[in-house]
Structure 1
Amino acid sequence: MRIFIAGGSGVLGRELIPLLAGAGHEVTATTRSTGKTSLISRLGATPDVIDALDRDAVLQAVDRGRPDVIVHLLTDLSAGDSVSNARLRVAGSRNLVDAAAHAGTPRIIAESIAWAYPPGATPATEDEPLDPESVEPRRTTISAVTALESSVAELPEHVVLRFGQLYGPGTWYSREGRFGQDARAGHLSVPDTVTSFIHTSDAVRAIALAVGWPSGTWNIVDNDPVSGREWAPRFAAAVDAPEPAVVRSGDIGRPVSNARAYESGLVLRHASWRDGFASL
């Protein structure tokens, strides 16, 4: 297949390219930076430098590649700015879907998030609507995710992957990531909210499997939802940091069910964050 990865130089894209190329797919991967084209080439994809917010550039790039599948991994996390990331989710998704329709690409796989469900004690399934009662800044994020998922559903074949909190190389939850550095500097405070994690290697394997999944939505999380009071000390120990403060957030969070992904063939290498944190 010809596969077009939007956001191919990011954390997931860098792991996904060799996996797809090794399976015999012809991969094109986009980046905003000319400095990352050589990396993309080494990983096994054809690089294409575009700004995903530039509608004409996206239309032209997808038209050039004529892919069978678009993998939408666009994020803007460099400054930790939820507004910028929300803008990219809304406008970038719109541009990709319009480009796919223009080029005759029937299928898209899109990265979404699993922490957008309403708070509660029972595991959230994919059939539950996203949190309608959220307040800022969470409301901005959930509105953008809703727009993303609505846009991709316009294509004949659409797969939405709602990932848990990503951890592993290159993420904020890693030794050299934002939270790892903050923890060692003694600046990290963690809410006691219940969180569902997913290791990047498992997230990438889910994307590769999703190339063959039917249209729909899947939660991609591990088997072990956990409160910040439990994961924070283990994360700190894994990155050689003092134990961070855990604060009451007023949000109990929500465990998330991964039953649908398991039924679709996903076997996790890191079924629990406890194992994954040990290798950070």
Structure 2
Amino acid sequence: MRVFVAGGAGVLGRRLVPQLVARGHEVTATTTSATKLGLLEQLGAEAVVMDGLDARSVGEAVARAQPDAIVHQMTAISGKPDIKHFDRWFATTNRLRTEGTDHLLAAAEATGVPHFVAQSYGSWNGIRQGGWVKTEEDPLDPTSTGQGAEAIRHLESAVFKAGGAVLRYGAFYGPGAIDDQVELVRKRQYPVVGNGGGYSSWVHLDDAASATVLAVEQKARGVFNIVDDEPAPASEWLPYLAACAGAKRPMRFPTWLARPLAGKTAVAMMTEGRGFSNAKAKRELEWQLRYPSWRQGFKAELSD
């Protein structure tokens, strides 16, 4: 197939492009920076510069590539994590999930691209009622407000209506994905909030990429949780991450103190978050994970 990867130079794109190429697909991958064209070419793709927020740029790039499938991996997450000011930190990513999604879908319609796969998010943001682990039948947390939650809802609705596949990736880890978080852990600036009972789901970049390849090849439709086998509370995964990183055990902050210091998003994640089940992806996509648990993956990634 001819596959168009929008955002090919991102942390996931850099793992996805080689997997697509290795399976015989012709890949066109985009970047916003001409300095990264060489990187994408080394990965085996035809590399193009594209501005995902410019409808004309997107339309021209897709028209030239004439792909059989578009994979939307455009984000702009960089710099030190700023959970307290989440919307500010994610401002460009939120636009890419709204305006960028609309531009790609319009280009797909204009050029007759039959399949569309898009990156969404499913780590701790399941509905905060009932059990701690959610399936695709459960809604995302409807109480989540702000531009980030609205952007995810927009993306999922638009892609679903277009008959595409929405991949709710868990929290990424792997090469280049959590370096900033690990630095905070080592500085003891990443505390457990409250009892740390909120659940999160993780996924290694290579496993996320392999699931994406399957969604492309199988022309999957609907929503899939792309997470590992072990959703876990912050009180378990964060101390384990610290141990793997050779850091001291994380401090604990009471909720009342964390709220003004870290913000409501961090408090919700750490104390009320709901993780996700991967049963549907494993069943329908026949997805097999290299790292079934973050326990194996954190250790492997940080053992050096």
Q: TM-score range by the shorter chain?
A: over 0.9
Are 1:161 and 1:218, in contact at CA under 8 Å, matched by a contact in 2? Answer: yes
> Which deviations, in whole Å up to 9, do the C-alpha atoms of 1:212-267 show, x marking residues without a partner?
14311100111111111111111112222222224442541113111101112011
Aligned with 2:98: secondary structure? helix
* Corresponding position: 1:196 with 2:217: no
Q: Percent identity?
A: 41
**Residues 74-117 of structure 1: CA deviation (Å, up to 9, x unaligned):** 11111451232212211110111011111110111111011332
Report the Cα offset of residue 122 of structure 1: 4.0
Deviates more, 1:140-149 or 1:119-128: 119-128
Residue equivalent to 1:127: 137
Structure 1 gaps, min length 5: none
Q: Does the 8 Å contact 2:201/2:231 carry over to 1?
A: yes
- More helix by proportion, 1 or 2? 2
Alignment match, 2:290: 269
For the 8 Å contact 1:130–1:142, the answer to whether it is kept is no
Aligned residues: 272
2:115 to 107, 115, 123: 107
CA RMSD of aligned residues (A): 1.5
Matches within 5 A, 1:184-263: 184-191=186-193, 192=196, 193-211=198-216, 212-247=218-253, 248=255, 249=267, 251-263=271-283
Give the unaligned 5+ runs of structure 2: 82-88, 256-266
Q: Determine which of 127, 136, 149 is the counterpart of 1:142.
A: 149
How far apart are the structure 2 equivalents of 1:60 and 1:233? Answer: 48
Which residue number corresponds to residue 169 of structure 2? 163
| DSSP-derived class of the 2:138 partner | coil
Q: Measured at CA, do residues 187 and 145 of structure 1 come closer, stay the same or move farther in structure 2, by a change above 3 Å?
A: same
2:275 counterpart SS class: coil
The CA deviation string for residues 146-179 of structure 1, in whole angstroms up to 9 with x for no partner, is: 1011222243x4111101111111102xxxx111
Q: Is the 8 A contact 1:228 1:246 kept in 2?
A: no
Amino acid in the other structure paired with 2:40: I
Distance 2:181 2:167 in 1: 24
Separation in 1 of the partners of 2:118 and 2:136?
Answer: 15
- Which residue identity is paired with 2:160? A
Cα distance in 1 for residues equivalent to 2:118 and 2:34: 24
2:298 counterpart letter in structure 1 = F
Q: Which structure carries more relative contact order (alpha carbon 8 Å, separation 6+)?
A: 2
Comparing 234-243 with 66-75, greater Cα deviation is found at: 234-243
Cα distance between partner residues in 2 of 1:213 and 1:46 = 22
